[in-house]
Structure 1
Amino acid sequence: MHCQPEYKGPVYIWSKNKQICLLCDEPSDSALALCSSCQDELPWLGAQCSVCALPLPAASLTCGQCLQRLPAFRRVIAPWRYDFPVDSLISRFKHHEKWPFGRLMAELLSQFLHYRYDEGLSRPDCLLPVPLSRRRLRQRGFNQAGMLAQWLGEHLQLAVEPLLLLRTQDTPAQQGLGARARQRNLHQAFALAADTPVAGRHLALVDDVLTTGATAQALARLLINAGARQVDVYCLARTARPDTPD
C-alpha cells in the first residue's frame, strides 16, 4: 500500500539551486545572487553621524549640521556609502529596470535591519515609500522606493502603506542643487492622504539614496506635525557629498 501518489516527472530540489553572483557572474556560495567575496567588498558604511548617517572619520559622533539643527527624523539606517559598485547597482535598478539588482539590495538591507533590531533598534509600525511625482512616475513606469518598501515589508514582516504620502507638486529635479535649494524646492511638495492614521505611530521612510536629507526632512516634518511618534529613514546608501546625483 502506497500513501503517496506516483510521480515520475522531475523534482525541484531547492537546496541544489545554484545562484549566480550578479557582480562577478561566478556561482554564489549563498542563497543570495551575490557571492561572499563580492559582498565583503561592497562599500559598507563605517563611522557615521549617529543621526543622518553622513560618513565621518570616527564613530559615535554627530555631524555639524545635525548638531546645529536636529532633523525631524530620528535616525537614518543605511548599510553602504554611495560608491562603486552600489552606485551602479542602484542606477541600473532605478533607470534601466534591472529589478533583480533592486531585489538583491533589498534582501541585503533587510538582513542589515534584522541585525540592527537584534541590537536594540526599535521596529516601526509600518514602512512608507517616498512618493514620486506623477511626471517622473510616468517617465520611469515605477517607483523604486515603492518596490524596495514592498520587498523589505516581505522580509521584515512589516506593513507597507504606499498611498499614505502624496507628492502634490511636480518639483524640478534635485540633481545639482545644494541643501538649502533642495529645501526650497520641496516646500509644500508633499501631503498626507485624507483620513490617514498617523498620530502616535512609529514610521519608517524608505528610499534608495540619501543625499542632503532634504526630502527625508520634508516628509518627516509633515509626519511629526501630524502626530507621528517617531520617524526613521531606511535607505540603501548614503552619500558623502551633498552634490551627488539622485
Structure 2
Amino acid sequence: MLASLTRALLDLVYPPRCAACRAPLDGEPFCPICAGAIDPVPSGCARCGLPGLAPACGACLAAPPAFERVRAAGLFGGPLADAVHGLKYGGRAALARPLGAWLAARAPLPPGAVVVSVPLGRARRIARGYDQAALLADGLVRAAGVPVRRLRGALVRVRETPPQVGRTRAERLRNVAGAFAATAAVAGRHVVLVDDVVTTGATAEAAATALRRAGARSVEVVALARAG
C-alpha cells in the first residue's frame, strides 16, 4: 500500500511521459501517436527472430543457437529505438518499469519459468548508474501475471567486452565468446533471458550457451526490440 501511495504521489508531481517523445500520458509507456508508429516484428526465422521470407535463416541452419527462440515486442526503429536509447543512454531508468509491463503484454512469460537478464559490464554499469536489462527484467516479472521466478546473480559477466555496436555478426560472436557464466540455480529450469535489443543474436547466444552449460533445460530470449 505504501509503495502504491508513493507512486501515486510521484505521478502527481512528475506526470508520466511518453517513453519516446515525452508527451504527457496516462498509463501506457507510449502516447497514441508513437504507439501507432511502432512496427511489429515481421515473420522470419523461427529460431532467432530475424525478419525474412524463410522460416529459418542461414546462420541458424548452419549453427543452431543455444536458445530456442527470440521474442521481441517490436521492430527496432522509430519511437521504440528512442525509448531504448533513453533507457540505455539517457539516464531514464524509470522507463524500465512501464516498458517491462509493455513487454509483458506482448511477450507473455510461460508459467514456472525463471527469468534472468543479460548482465551489463561492470565499467558500463558504474558509468550508467544502473543495469537497464536487469531493471527491464524486474518490470517484466512484476507485470507477468503468472508465477515466475526472478533469479538474480544466476548469470554473470566474467569478462569485460568492448561495445558490440558497429561490429559484424562474426566479430560480435568472437567479442562475447566466453564472456558469461551461470550458476547451478538454472539447472533443469526453463530460462527466459531478458535484454533490451537483439541485433545479430551474438550476445544472446553467448549468454544462452553459459546457461545451457550450467544445466538449463531450455532458454528463450525476450527483448523489447529486434533489429531487422
TM-score bracket, normalised by the shorter chain, equals 0.7 to 0.9
**1:221-232 to 2 correspondences below 5 Å:** 221-232=209-220
Q: Which residue of 2 aligns with 1:218?
A: 206
Is 1:135 paired with 2:131?
A: no
Percent identical among aligned pairs is: 36
Give how far 1:51 is off: 1.0
Deviations 1:188-213 (A, max 9, x none): 211124xx322211001100001111
Is 1:106 paired with 2:107?
A: no
Answer whether contact 1:90 1:102 (CA < 8 A) is retained.
no
Answer whether contact 2:45 2:56 (CA < 8 A) is retained.
yes
Deviations 1:12-48 (A, max 9, x none): 9xxxxx96545566665x6324344432321221223
Instruction: State which of 32, 51, 56 in structure 2 corresponds to 1:62.
Output: 56
Q: Indicate the SS of the match to 1:136.
A: helix
Find the aligned partners of 1:239 and 1:99 in 2 and give their Cα distance. 22
| Alpha-carbon spacing, 1:186–1:50, altered in 2? closer, same or farther (3 Å) | same
Answer whether contact 2:115 2:151 (CA < 8 A) is retained.
yes
* Structure with greater proportional helix content: 2
Instruction: State which of 140, 156, 170 in structure 2 corresponds to 1:180.
Output: 170
Q: Which residue of 1 aligns with 2:28?
A: 32
Q: Which residue of 1 aligns with 2:191?
A: 203
What are structure 1's unaligned runs of at least 5 residues? 1-11, 13-17, 115-120, 241-246
Find the aligned partners of 2:201 and 2:155 in 1 and give their Cα distance. 17
Alpha-carbon RMSD: 2.4
Letter aligned with residue 37 of structure 2:
E
Find the aligned partners of 1:89 and 1:27 in 2 and give their Cα distance. 15
**1:1-246 to 2 correspondences below 5 Å:** 21-23=18-20, 28=25, 31-57=27-53, 61-114=55-108, 122-123=110-111, 125-157=113-145, 158-193=148-183, 196-240=184-228
Deviations 1:131-153 (A, max 9, x none): 11111111111100000010111
What are structure 2's unaligned runs of at least 5 residues? 1-8, 10-14
Give how far 1:215 is off: 1.1
| Alpha-carbon spacing, 1:186–1:25, altered in 2? closer, same or farther (3 Å) | closer
Find the aligned partners of 1:134 and 1:25 in 2 and give their Cα distance. 30
Q: Indicate the SS of the match to 1:236.
A: strand
Matched residue count: 214
Structure 2 length-normalised TM? 0.84
Give how far 1:102 is off: 3.1
Give how far 1:86 is off: 0.8
